[in-house]
Structure 1
Amino acid sequence: MLPYSFPGHALAFLRNSEEVLATGKKYFGCTNHPFALNLGGSIFYAIFNPVDVAAVFNAGPKLSFDGFLHGIMAEFGSSQTAIQKVLNVPDESQLGLSPRQSVSELAHHFQVKQTSGSELKLLIQHIVCFFQENLLLEGLKNHTSPSFYVDCDGEKCVSLKYWTAEVFIHAGQNAYFGDELLKIDPTLPQVLMRMDELSWQIFYRYPWFLRPELNRLTSRLRSTLHQYLKLPKHQRKSVAWFTQFLESEYRRVGLDDEDIAAQMLFLYWGINTNVSKVGYWMMAHIAFDPSLAEIVREETEPAFQEDESLDVEYLANACPRLNCLWLEVLRLSASSTTLRYITEDQELGNYLLRKGRALMISARQLHHDETAFGEDAHLFKPDRFLKSPKLQRSYCFRPFGGGKTLCPGRHLAKWMVLSFIAIVFRRYDVDLAKPQKFPRYQENKPAIGIISGCDDVFLRLKARK
Structure 2
Amino acid sequence: MLVDFILEDTVALTRHLLLAAEDHATSHSILRGLLCVVIVLAWTAWRCWKFTVYPWLHPDEPKELPYFIPTHGASFFKDSNGLLERARRYFASTGTTPFALTAFGHTFYVVTHPKDSAAVYRNTESLSFDEFVQALMRFNGNDEWTIKNVHQPLPATTKAGFANPEGLSMISLTQRMHMHQLHPGEKMAVFQLQIRDWLNRKLTLDVLASTDSTDTGQSSVDSVELPLYQWTSDWFVRLGQHLYFGDVLERVDPEYTDNFVVFDEVIWKMLYQYPSLLCRDMTVPRDRMIASMKAYLQLHPNERRGQAAWLINGLEDEFRGIGVDDNNLAILFFHLYFAINTNSRKTSFWVLTHMMRNPSYIAAFRSETAPAFDGDDLVDMAYIQDADKCPTVDAIWLETLRVAGWAASVRLVAHDVVIGGKVLRAGNRIMVPHRLLHFDSAFAGDEPTAWRPGRWLDSDAGRKMNKSPSWHPFGGGKTVCSGRFLAKGMVMAFVSTILRRFDIEAVGNPPMPQPDVGRPVLGIISVMEGQDYRVKVTRRKEASA
- With structure 2 as the length reference, what TM-score do the two structures score? 0.82
Change (3 A) 1:129 1:369: same
Q: Deviations over 1:414-444 (max 9, x none)?
A: 0111100110000001111121111111112
Corresponding position of 2:446 = 375
Cα displacement (A) at 1:239: 5.6
Corresponding position of 2:495 = 421
Asked if 2 retains the 8 angstrom alpha-carbon contact of 1:44 and 1:357, the reply is yes
Q: Deviations over 1:95-152 (max 9, x none)?
A: 6632611111111011111012122121111012112111111111111x2x443767
CA distance in 2, matches of 1:25, 1:207: 32
Pair 1:61-2:90 in alignment: no
Corresponding position of 2:108 = 44
Of the three residues 516, 525, 528, the one matched with 1:451 is 525
CA distance in 1, matches of 2:431, 2:345: 25
Corresponding position of 1:6 = 69
Pair 1:223-2:297 in alignment: no
Corresponding position of 1:264 = 333
* Partner-residue secondary structure (3-state), 2:261: helix
Corresponding position of 1:277 = 346
Cα displacement (A) at 1:93: 8.2
Cα displacement (A) at 1:90: 2.5
Asked if 2 retains the 8 angstrom alpha-carbon contact of 1:159 and 1:458, the reply is yes
Corresponding position of 2:144 = 80
Cα displacement (A) at 1:309: 3.7
Q: Larger radius of gyration, structure 1 or 2?
A: 2
Pair 1:310-2:379 in alignment: yes
Cα displacement (A) at 1:25: 0.9
Cα displacement (A) at 1:333: 0.8
Greater RCO (Cα-Cα under 8 Å, separation 6 or more): 1
* Partner-residue secondary structure (3-state), 1:344: coil
Cα displacement (A) at 1:91: 4.3
Corresponding position of 2:78 = 15
Moved over 6 A (4+): 150-155
CA distance in 2, matches of 1:450, 1:415: 16
Cα displacement (A) at 1:39: 2.0
Equivalent AA in structure 2 for residue 460 of structure 1: K
Corresponding position of 2:479 = 405
Corresponding position of 1:172 = 240
* Partner-residue secondary structure (3-state), 1:16: helix
Corresponding position of 1:438 = 512
Residues 206-355 of structure 1: pairs in structure 2 closer than 5 A: 206-236=274-304, 237-238=306-307, 240-305=309-374, 308-317=377-386, 318-355=389-426
Residues 112-261 of structure 1: pairs in structure 2 closer than 5 A: 112-116=179-183, 117-143=185-211, 145=212, 147-149=213-215, 157-236=225-304, 237-238=306-307, 240-261=309-330
Asked if 1 retains the 8 angstrom alpha-carbon contact of 2:385 and 2:394, the reply is yes
Change (3 A) 1:39 1:132: same
Equivalent AA in structure 2 for residue 378 of structure 1: T
CA distance in 2, matches of 1:444, 1:341: 23
Equivalent AA in structure 1 for residue 150 of structure 2: V
Equivalent AA in structure 1 for residue 319 of structure 2: Y
Equivalent AA in structure 2 for residue 374 of structure 1: G
Equivalent AA in structure 1 for residue 179 of structure 2: V
CA distance in 1, matches of 2:533, 2:255: 22
Cα displacement (A) at 1:285: 1.0
Asked if 1 retains the 8 angstrom alpha-carbon contact of 2:378 and 2:497, the reply is no
CA distance in 2, matches of 1:312, 1:53: 34
* Partner-residue secondary structure (3-state), 1:238: coil
Pair 1:362-2:428 in alignment: no
CA distance in 2, matches of 1:148, 1:262: 33
Asked if 2 retains the 8 angstrom alpha-carbon contact of 1:56 and 1:63, the reply is yes
Corresponding pairs, count: 463
Corresponding position of 1:27 = 90
Equivalent AA in structure 1 for residue 451 of structure 2: F
Asked if 2 retains the 8 angstrom alpha-carbon contact of 1:148 and 1:162, the reply is no
Q: Deviations over 1:349-399 (max 9, x none)?
A: 211111111101111111101111123111110211112110011111110
Asked if 2 retains the 8 angstrom alpha-carbon contact of 1:150 and 1:159, the reply is no
Asked if 1 retains the 8 angstrom alpha-carbon contact of 2:232 and 2:345, the reply is yes
Q: Deviations over 1:14-54 (max 9, x none)?
A: 11111111111111126361111212222111111111001
Asked if 2 retains the 8 angstrom alpha-carbon contact of 1:334 and 1:450, the reply is yes
Cα displacement (A) at 1:234: 2.2
- What are the ranges of 5 or more consecutive residues in structure 2 without an aligned counterpart? 1-63
User: 325-334 or 2-11, which moves further after superposition?
Assistant: 2-11
Pair 1:107-2:174 in alignment: yes
Equivalent AA in structure 2 for residue 248 of structure 1: D
User: 197-206 or 147-156, which moves further after superposition?
Assistant: 147-156
CA distance in 1, matches of 2:437, 2:352: 24
Change (3 A) 1:148 1:106: farther
* Partner-residue secondary structure (3-state), 2:335: helix
* Partner-residue secondary structure (3-state), 2:244: helix
Equivalent AA in structure 1 for residue 535 of structure 2: L
Cα displacement (A) at 1:85: 1.5
Equivalent AA in structure 2 for residue 192 of structure 1: F
Asked if 1 retains the 8 angstrom alpha-carbon contact of 2:407 and 2:520, the reply is no
- With structure 1 as the length reference, what TM-score do the two structures score? 0.95
